Structure 1
């Protein structure tokens, strides 16, 4: 796997980590920290739906993948509409886990990428879920 993909993947964690760090400060009101965290999480979740959308149309698959590909975007949108609700961060966190496991079952990857991509997704998703848990506890 190209090292730039790994670097970009890990760079995508910076808003999660940075916003969690902001919960210890008074730089921003806590309500804005939670809102920004929710917004970033929802937008990033929709990215994973795009991966499946591309996989479905590029492989001319006729199964459920193209429909499932829309779920992360819809879930993210619903979470944005209810950004202050207590269930939102848990829903986003569970959605990251679900799409990661769905990736392992359905995503068509070249053989040489399977191990690296799976490891990268596991690492990234672990940090994302821990960040969500911390943000939930911080509320």
Structure 2
């Protein structure tokens, strides 16, 4: 896997981590931090649907993958409509984990990329889920 992909993947964690620190250090109003975190999480979750949309189109796959590709965007949007509800971060967090497992089962990747992609997704998803836990329990 290209270094650029890894760097960009880890750079995507910066808003999660900065918002966690802002919450822990009481840098901004809690409600604002929570809204910004939820918005970023929903937008980033939507990105994973795009990966499956592209994979389904480029691999000429039919069936469930095109439909599943829409779920992260719909889930993210529904979570945005429920700003302030405690369960929203749990739903977003669980969605990241479920998409990671779905990726592993469905994505058409060259064999040389499977191990690297799986490791990268596992580490990124772990940090994302832990960031959600910080937001849930430090709130």
Question: Hey, what's the Cα distance between the residues in 2 that align with 1:132 and 1:21?
Answer: 12
The TM-score normalised by the length of structure 2 is 0.98
Residue aligning to 1:136:
136
Where do 5+ consecutive residues of structure 2 fail to align?
none
CA contact (8 A) 2:24 2:138 kept: no
**CA RMSD after TM alignment:** 0.7
Q: Tell me how far 1:19 sits from its aligned partner.
A: 0.3
Kindly report which structure 2 residues correspond to 1:40-55, keeping only aligned pairs within 5 A, or say none: 40-55=40-55
Secondary structure of the 2:24 match is coil
In 2, the alpha carbon distance for the partners of 1:13 and 1:83 equals: 21
| Runs ≥4 residues deviating over 4 A | none
Q: Structure 1 CA distance, aligned partners of 2:137 and 2:27? A: 19
- Name 1:64's counterpart in structure 2: 64
Instruction: Note the residue ranges of structure 1 that are not aligned, 5 or more in a row.
Output: none
1:89-108 mapped onto 2 (5 Å cutoff): 89-108=89-108
1:33-86 deviation per Cα after TM superposition (whole angstroms, max 9, x unaligned) = 000000000000000000000000111101100000000000000001111111
Cα distance in 1, alignment partners of residues 130 and 44 from structure 2 = 16
Counting matched residue pairs gives: 139
Aligned counterparts of 1:34 and 1:138: Cα–Cα separation in 2: 11
| Distance of 1:41 and 1:23 partners within structure 2 | 15
In the alignment, what sits opposite 2:36? 36
